[in-house]
Structures are given as C-alpha cells and as structure tokens.
C-alpha cells in the first residue's frame, strides 16, 4: 500500500535542491523590491511566476502520483490481468511498482530488472531515491542492450515511467528490440510515460523536455518491430501504450 502523499513527498525529498533554489530566488527577488523600489512591480510579477510554476508542478504531481489510479493499476485491460506466465518489470533505478505488480499477478513469477547505470544516469534525485528505498528482492542489474532473458520467455513486460531514461535514440531502439526478443508471440509490452505535449508543458514548463513526444515513441516502437494494440490516457499527463509483436494476434 502506498502511503498518503508518498508521490509528492518523494518529489520534494529527492529534488529538495530545486525547491531550495526556488525558495531562495523568491527571497532574493522579494528583498530586491526594497533595494530598488522602481523594480517593485516587476519583482512581484517574477515572484508570482516562480510561485505559480512551482505550485502547479506540485499540484499536478500530487494528482498524478497520489490521487489518480496510476499506481492502483486499475487502468490495465482485463485481458492482461488473466492468469499469465512470466511477468517482467524493468525500471531505471527507482522501483515503486514491482510489489504492486506482484499483487496484481499473484500466480505469475515476477522478474525485476534494473538498468540504472551511474555513468549514464547522473541525476542526484535518482541517487537519493536508491539510497532511500531498498531494491525489490531478487532484482537483477542489467544493460538495456542485453537483457538476461531467453527468447520468447515473457508474457508481459512493464516499463512504467522508465523507458525515457534511455536517452540516446539508438540505445532506446536496441532496448525495445531486446524487449521484442524476450516477448512470447502473444506477449504484451506496457509502456507508461509522460509525453512532451501541451499538458505536461503546462504542468512542468521546461521540465517537459525530459520526456518524449508521442511521435517519437511511435517511431521507436515501429523500429523495434512493435505494434500498438491499445493506447489510453491514465491522466491528462500520463499515457499508457500497450504493444504487441508485429504480426501477433491482438
């Protein structure tokens, strides 16, 4: 069970340097009104801009990670919840979903893979998250281009808010080809991501550049031999893509 405010709390906890910088900037801008009185109206405008930007991002994060059904997995199609074989969860160093997936797929073996690479994923927030949360039991450290799974061995693979951390297009294509390799002919890949779109720009301003557009994902899926079976909005800010191997049954 997720704790109340766990999502927005983790954002504040792992990114406190950003919010400290925003608070410090607001203090300096507010003080500048008294040093340069003529600057006063512009200072108020800047204070409002900083406050609204930070406030909106936190409110949206609260909605997405604490209020929506993202982590309840209620958005999963019923056909994916039927008794299945091997379920694979692949993440980028911070795992909030493996225990939830094991609860939803009680009769299925769960394989958890972590592709975090400290040489590539240098964000301080990920380091803080990994220090705060223990890895799910049995988690395997992997490289995205060489998953330690046999061909045609996975019935369902999950990439939940993780695939965008593979930043280079060719590495992303190789990663998705590896997922294609391990999927059974009738297996499914579930990719959940924020998109680089208007909704996420309104929520996170320039932070939306950390995400990729729907067109970019469509191109990556096609290059890896994956076909979109279903797409749905979990929230206006988060999309789920359910994919199958080209030529397989829906």
pLDDT in tens, the chain (250 residues): 788 899 999 999 999 999 999 999 999 999 998 888 888 899 999 999 999 999 999 999 999 999 999 999 999 988 776 666 899 999 999 999 999 999 999 889 999 999 999 888 878 888 898 888 889 999 999 999 999 999 999 999 999 999 999 999 999 999 999 999 999 999 999 999 999 999 999 999 999 999 999 999 999 999 999 999 999 999 999 999 999 998 665 5
Stated pTM of the model: 0.92
The per-residue pLDDT for 247 is 63
Whether residue 104 contacts residue 73, with contact meaning beta carbons closer than 8 Å, is answered with yes
The per-residue pLDDT for 131 is 85
Whether residue 75 contacts residue 100, with contact meaning beta carbons closer than 8 Å, is answered with no
Report the candidate in 193, 234, 226 with the shortest Cα–Cα distance to residue 212: 193
Pairing of strands 226-235, 87-91: unpaired
The per-residue pLDDT for 126 is 86
The per-residue pLDDT for 120 is 81
Buried b (16+ CB within 10 A) or exposed e, 38-64: eeeeebeebbeeeeebbeebeebbbbb
Distance separating alpha carbons of residues 48 and 141, to the nearest angstrom: 44
CA 159 to chain centre: 8
Distance separating alpha carbons of residues 155 and 88, to the nearest angstrom: 8
**SS3 (DSSP) at 193:** strand
- The count of C-alpha atoms lying within 13 angstroms of the C-alpha of 235, restricted to the half-sphere facing its C-beta, is 21
């Amino acid at each position: 069970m997720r704790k109340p405010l766990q999502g927005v709390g983790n954002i504040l906890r792992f990114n406190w340097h950003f919010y400290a910088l925003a608070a410090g900037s607001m203090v300096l801008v507010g003080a500048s009104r008294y040093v340069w009185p003529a600057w006063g109206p512009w200072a108020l405008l800047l204070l409002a801009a900083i406050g609204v930007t930070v406030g909106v991002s936190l409110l949206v994060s609260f909605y997405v990670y604490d209020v929506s059904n993202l982590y309840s997995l209620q958005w999963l199609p019923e056909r994916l919840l039927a008794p299945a074989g091997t379920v694979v969860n692949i993440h980028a160093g911070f795992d909030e979903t493996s225990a939830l997936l094991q609860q939803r797929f009680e009769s299925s073996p769960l394989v958890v893979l972590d592709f975090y690479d400290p040489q590539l994923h240098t964000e301080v927030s990920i380091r803080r998250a990994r220090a705060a949360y223990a890895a799910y039991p049995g988690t395997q450290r992997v490289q995205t281009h060489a998953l330690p799974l046999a061909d045609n061995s996975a019935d369902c693979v999950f990439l939940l808010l993780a695939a965008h951390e593979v930043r280079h297009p060719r590495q992303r294509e190789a990663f998705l080809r590896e997922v294609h390799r391990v999927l059974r002919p009738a297996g499914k890949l579930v990719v959940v991501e924020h998109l680089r779109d208007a909704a996420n720009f309104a929520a996170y301003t320039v932070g939306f550049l950390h995400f990729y557009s729907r067109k970019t994902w469509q191109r990556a899926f096609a290059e890896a031999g994956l076909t979109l079976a279903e797409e749905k909005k979990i929230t206006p800010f988060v999309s789920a893509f359910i994919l199958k191997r080209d030529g397989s049954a829906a």
